[in-house]
Structure formats: structure tokens, C-alpha cells
A and B are shown apart, each in its own frame.
Chain A
Amino acid sequence: MAKLVLPAGLLVLLLLGGPMLLMLRYSFNEYDPLYIMQQAFTFENYAKAVVDPYYQKILMTTITVALTCTVLTTLLAYGPAYWLARMESRWKSKLTILTMFPLLVGGVVRSAGYLALLSTTGLINATLLGLGIISEPLTLLYTPGAVIFATVGIVLPYMILTLASVIESIPRQVEDAAANLGARPATAFFRVLVPLSLPGVLAGASLVFILCMNAYATPLLLGGPQFQMMAPAVYEQFAKASNWPFGAALAFILLMVTVILTTVGSSVIAKRYKAG
């Protein structure tokens, strides 16, 4: 059976493990304006990223946006996921495909679309101005709200599909049993459906949180110059400042924070709801 894992395993080792180890090594190097970096073993890059208020703010913004998006996405996705999972009509498979449809359009293209929607001369402002509802265009673009709105739109299908597959595996009779035993719909939802769909919620939320933490195109295009998130900041260090050691350190901080928050968050939620 081990043979089955080999090709994919080698690929991951080569294309993911290798570069990551390389990056990890770089993050301990010293920056050199001339040669990009010097071999060294220093924690200076990490120290700088952790102490500098500028990067602290970027990290906090990233976490806040990612958490907000995850919570919003979970709340928004549960209803459609449940509806899709319990659907019996012949439209079910077609609707499942339709849910995946937005994934066919890449994040960059979609963000460009949101640009056209939200800008001062965009669709929303033009409509509202045309109808005389507002006299000055609203500032919709280059706000945290725009980034959150766009990110939720992008990650929603992942959440819906993950949740739907888990809800589908919960026998409907279990819900019927709760109602038969006297549970009102809200009680049945929180006491039976939520605990039983928890694996799906956690898997979906982890996936979405990771995607949001690493969001690149959306914050860059819709957040404006004042709005900074981690992934663009990492890119900036590599591509513009040519400070590879510091960029690598930022990347590893982003990775570690994402891993820690995902595992801690999952286990806390699991503990909170698992007990009947």
C-alpha cells in the first residue's frame, strides 16, 4: 500500500518540503543590500517582525480579517449547505455543480470584477446615483469591508461544499427523532445537528481560515494602499525590497500563526460542542 503514496509523497517532498526548508534557512540569514543575503544564524529577522508596530498591525489586520471572514462564511454557508444536503430533487447534482461554478473564475479575475462593482464610478454607485438615492458616491472600495465582502464571496463555495457533504452523512431520522422527542427546531439544531456536523464545520472553517490568512489578490486590489495584509507584505519583501531573509521570516510567522490558530481553534470548538 505504501507504493500508492510514493509518487505524490515524492512530489510534495520535492516541491513543498524542499523550498520550505530553504526558506526556513533563509529566514535566519542576514540581509545584505548587495548580495541579497549573507550566510548567518540570527533571530534578528523574527525579532524585527515581532517588535515592529508596523508588522504587528499587518499581522493583527490579517488575523482579524481572516477570523471575520471565517465566521461570516460559516454562518452564511450553513443554510445553503443544509438545503443542498437534504435536497431530494433531480436538481441536487446540478446545484452542487453550480455551487462549484464560482471556483472556475480565479481570485484575481473576481477581485477585478469587484473593483468594477464597488468603485466610485462602479455599478453600485452608478445605480444609487442614477436613482437619486445618494448625491455623492459612497466609498465602498479600498475599505476593510470591501476586502471582507470579496473574500467571503471567494471562499463561500469551499465552505458550502464541505458542510454539505458532512450534513448529508447525518441520517435525517436522527433529526426526526429529536423532533419526536419534543425538541423544537432551534433546540434540535443546536443539540443534534450542530454537534454532529461539527467535523464539517471545523474542516470547512480551517480551510477557509487558511485561505483567508494567505489571501493575496483581494487585499491588494480591493484594500487600497493603506490596507495591509501578510501575503502581500511577504511578496513586497521578496520582490520589491529584495530582503529575502526578512520576507522568509514574515512567511514563517504567517505559517506558524495560521497553524497555531487553526489547531487551537479547532480543539476549543470541538471540546465546547462535543459533549452532548
Chain B
Amino acid sequence: MKSLELENVCKKFGEAVAVTDMSMHILTGELVSLLGPSGCGKTTTLRMVAGFVEPSSGSIRINGRDVTKLAPYERNTALVFQSYALFPHMTVAQNVGFGLEMRKVGKAEREEKSIEALKRVRLDHLSDRYPRQLSGGQQQRAALARGLVLNPDIFLLDEPLSNLDAKLRGEVRSEIRGLQQSLELTTLMVTHDQEEALTMSDKLVLMEAGSVRQSGTAQDLYEQPADAFVADFVGRSNVIKGRIEDGKFRTTDGTFMPTLPGAVADAQYYTLRPEKISLSREGDGVEGTLLERLYLGAQTEYTVRVGETSISVVTATPGPDDMRAGLRVGDAVRLAWDVASVRLLNN
């Protein structure tokens, strides 16, 4: 059984607090993502797990063993760097064999295992190449193999897709996830890309300003965001400020929004996913003016002004017969949504 536990981990750089009271638990074969905007402390957390940064307080345990004070080379973690960090003076095979050599594995076994790992990432035919002779995607697969071959306790991925072009990204995403699941790699991934985190992870830990805002499955975070920050960061959300008056939500500019009865009295944010809203020319719903229309191919995104508030609406691009097809900026539109999909949040 493999596991990673962080208990009340804090890190300060001088006066600046990078990570505050971070606790989490990863079990065998799980992929957990640390998600958050840059500067939220996710990379510092990853570097603490790898041993490059020593926590100011708290403890880190790998497979139950306290590793808080251990040097990087005394921990059995495998970190795939954002820049891949392959050794430029070694061939792919030498790169992959390096960790085994450090573990005093004999030459024959080393070669056998390296080739096996390279086969897993479909790179065995390039084992004699130097990193500079590989494409970005191939370099990343070599870096993955260099970690895989060690059968690490914890697999660490630092922004694994950020250096790849958009087309390759989807492919690599499922490849990494496939490898991780078939080898049951216990993995901690750092990313700022919510799509990457949502699609690849068993669990997400959303961080902001050094602390955890919410952790849970992708569905938990998407459907039951703990606060307005989570609602807006995971997927997109219209976050409208206001307060409850007479059991109804009233925006700061005075518009009353449809609200389920029995709303929490201290709610300050009315959050609503853009795709939960339907837009029409007439009929029931909230009145608004079309401010912008963005054609995204399969989808169209509308920005509608309701009172002083801008609301984003995402729908499937209407067909030619649809009444919405001819909408122009400045037209009056109606917005409607199921009140059940609204989340009222108090911070």
C-alpha cells in the first residue's frame, strides 16, 4: 500500500506565507490534483513533497514514514518537471537508467527495465537519441519513463501539459491518465488548468493564497462549490453580488433574482453556471440586453446585461431556423433558468 499524507504543513519564506495549514491524504493508485491560480502555493507543496523545500511546520508522511526532514535523494518520489529536465548529455536510455544506477541496480537489469519503461511510453525505438533530438511530446514521454522505471512511492507531475501544443494536450492527457491507472501510480499533480484537473483527477484540492479552499471530486467542486472563488475557478460561473431581502436575492443594483424559498439569510453571492441558462427572444424570464455574442463553433457564448450586471450564457450554437440565430448586439432577450441550479453562497 502506498500513501501520501500531509498534516498541517506550513511554509513561510521570510515573512511571506506560501502554504498555510495544508492537510491531505492520497491513497494507493489515486491521482490528486493541486489546482489553483499561480502563486497559490501548489508548486511549493509539490516541492515540499519531493524534498526540495523544507516545511516550516507540520509533517509529510510517505507510506506512513515521516519524510519531513529527509533530503530529496532519500525519498522514493518521481517528479516529472514542467520543463522535463532531461539530462542533455545523456541518451534517452541513460536518462531512464540514471535513477536505477543511483539505486545500485546492475547494468543488465537496468537496461532491461529501462527498455520496458520506454516501451510503456512508446519510446523504445528512440532510446539512443539525445533529448535535443526529440520533440516536446517525446521529451515528456522520456521524462515519464525516467520516473516510471523507479516504481516510485509517489509520482509527482508538475504542470504536465503546459509545454505541449493544444492538439497534443488531449492525447497526452489520456495517455498519462491511462498509465497512472493501469500501473496504479499514487500521483500528485500540480496544475493551474481546471480542465486538466477535472478530466484527470480522482480528487482535486483547490488552493488559493496558500490555503485549501475546497477538496473533493470534480463533481463535488463543480456542483457544490464551497464559496464564490471555487464556483468561479472550477468551470465558469456567473457570480453576482447582493443580499437576501424578503426571502429573495436582490443584486447590488436592485434587481430581484429568482430564488428558491427558504434561502440562507446571509447569502452574499448568487452563482449560476452559464450553461444552465436558456436564452430566448421573448417569453418568460429575466429581461436583458445582448451585449456581446462570441461564436465558438459548436457553442455560442452570449453576454447579457441585466440591470447593472453582466451575465454569461453558453448554449449550443443555434441552427439557421432558430429564432436566436439572427440575434444582434443591443437586442432585447429573455433569460430563464431552473432555480434549483442556483447556488447561494455566503463568501
Q: Chain A residues in contact with chain B, CB under 8 A?
A: 171, 173-174, 176-184, 187, 191-192, 195-196, 274, 276
Contacts and interface: CB of A to CB of B under 8 A. Distances in A.
Nearest to B50: A180
Contacts of B98: 178, 181, 183, 191
Contacts of B241: none
A181 B146 contact: yes
Contacts of B50: 176, 180
B87 A176 contact: no
B72 A276 contact: no
Interface string B86-104: 1111110010001100110
A196 B73 contact: no
A187 B85 contact: no
Interface string B64-92: 00000001110001110111011111110
A119 B92 CA distance: 58
A178 B85 CA distance: 9
A180 B89 CA distance: 18
A196 B87 CA distance: 9
Interface string B113-133: 000000000000000000000
Contacts of A276: 87, 89-91, 94
A187 B94 CA distance: 15
Contacts, number: 64
Contacts of A183: 73, 98, 102
B90 A177 contact: no
A63 B106 CA distance: 43
25 contacts: A173-B85, A174-B88, A176-B52, A176-B79, A176-B81, A177-B79, A178-B87, A178-B98, A179-B51, A179-B71, A180-B50, A180-B51, A180-B79, A181-B73, A181-B99, A182-B99, A183-B98, A184-B73, A187-B102, A196-B89, A274-B89, A276-B89, A276-B90, A276-B91, A276-B94
Interface of B: 50-52, 71-73, 77-79, 81-83, 85-91, 94, 98-99, 102-103, 146, 150
A192 B87 contact: yes
Given A192-B87, A274-B89, 13 more contacts: A173-B83, A176-B79, A176-B85, A177-B79, A177-B86, A179-B73, A180-B50, A181-B102, A181-B150, A182-B73, A183-B102, A196-B87, A276-B87
B102 A171 contact: no
Nearest to A177: B85
A180 B153 CA distance: 12
A149 B50 CA distance: 44
Contacts of B86: 174, 177
A176 B91 CA distance: 18
What are the 5 closest A-B residue pairs judged by CB atoms, nearest first? A276-B90, A182-B102, A181-B99, A173-B85, A177-B85
Nearest to B156: A180
Given A171-B83, A182-B99, A182-B103, A176 B72 contact: yes
Contact of B72 (A180, A187, A192): A180
Contact of A174 (B52, B78, B87, B102): B87
A180 B150 CA distance: 11
Contact of B77 (A173, A180, A184): A180
B187 to A, nearest CB: 15
